Amino acid sequence: MAIDLTDEVVAPAPQEPVISARDVRVWYGTTRGAIRAVDGVSFDLAPGETLGLVGESGCGKSTLGRGLMGLLPEGAKRDGEVLFRGRDIFSLSKKEAYQLRGRELGMIFQEPLTRLNPLMRISQHFEETIKQHEPDLSKDEIRDRALEVLRLMGIPPTRYRSYPHEFSGGMRQRLMIALALVLRPAFVVADEPTTALDVLVEAQIVQILNDLRRNFQTSLLLITHNVGIVAEACDRVAVMYAGRIVEQGRVAEVFKNPQHPYTRALMRSTISLTTTGLNYIPGAPPDLVDPPDGCRFHPRCTEAMNVCAVQNPVDIERPGGGRVECWLVGPDDQIPPGGKQSLKQEELTVVDEA
């Protein structure tokens, strides 16, 4: 499956992607069977680019992020190909993967306090992190490095020897970001980094994430359920539904001219200051142990056609750049005769609600 890179990336010259994921699948084992949390996802990420991954909960966003990092629970399996600077990180040995994490691949989590050791000073956290990968650095060099990152995160040098509990929630998240970035990884996954924070602090962190590409040349996969945050902090967006990326492209393009009905529904349901009416998406994301046939969104789609219920949509180039998977967009020549008639659906009630 190919993602074309013809849609202009922020960087002036088309660059080799840092991360190039092809047909990634991550399935969880449960007592009922496999949950196909991520089921055939492909995307590219250029250096210094931020890709926003949006969707409702239960669409596989977090699983994709953790899958890329190799942080999966027992009983989960992944396959596909993820090229990081030309190396397939899915086929690395445990030791190699460990070497790569932290130094080249970073992760920022939702709940910062649980990731910091309460008995260690911030300075010790930095020493610990840096020593893992660059054992030759002296304490002073570590301090210089750490203070520089902290400064970019807006944490004053006077706090370098404090303990985690002396920081507020927003400061802790800044700390986590600083710790993830101190080794200057080329690729960072941020999993809902602002969800636990207050509105103003959330906006501050979004601004920091927004400045990342300028300060660090880091490629960021920003996982969020908030369409507004994507609009503010990302270059490109990938909309995920039921384990698939249903639409991706440049943020301005996709949000101004959404092609997939799910993207449209998601944007409509977001309540912002310009909201004039309350809209929602009927139903709930499907059970990923046994996802619906055809397009996985068809049971909730108001524009579904006959073909949607029986045949998987084809991944095609989006008008205006990017990719989309929806029969409404095409390709028309693969739709069987009569397939374009609108689908008779069962009405969705509260019973099916998310």
Beta carbons within 8 Å of 294's beta carbon, 6+ residues apart: 307, 308, 309, 310, 311, 312, 313
- Judged by beta carbon, residue 137 or residue 201, the one nearer other proteins is 201
Nearer to other proteins, 77 or 87 (CB): 77
Q: How far is the CB of 229 from other proteins (least distance, A)?
A: 5
Question: Which of residues 170 and 299 has its CB atom nearest to other proteins in the complex?
Answer: 170
Q: Report CA Rg, the chain.
A: 21
Q: Which residues contact 67 (CB under 8 A, 6 or more apart)?
A: 24, 26, 38, 76, 78
Q: Which is nearer to other proteins, 100 or 265 (CB)?
A: 265
The region that residue 185 occupies, defined by phi over 0 for left and psi between -120 and 50 for alpha, beta otherwise, is beta
How big is the CA angle at 218 (ends 213 and 219), to the nearest 5 degrees?
A: 95
Using H for helix, E for strand and C for coil, what is the string for 14-53? CCCCCEEEEEEEEEEECCCCEEEEEEEEEEEECCCCEEEE
To other proteins, the closest distance from the beta carbon of 136 in angstroms equals: 23
Contacts (Cβ under 8 Å, ≥6 apart) of 149: 178, 181, 182
CB closer to other proteins out of 27 and 43? 27
Q: Which is nearer to other proteins, 132 or 270 (CB)?
A: 270
Site of tokens 């739709």 = 335
Q: How far is the CB of 167 from other proteins (least distance, A)?
A: 10
**Nearest distance in Å: CB 57, other proteins:** 5
Smallest distance from other proteins to CB 135, Å: 25
Minimal distance, residue 89 CB to other proteins, in Å: 18
Task: List all residues 6 or more positions away from 348 whose beta carbon is below 8 Å from its beta carbon.
Answer: 282, 283, 299, 300
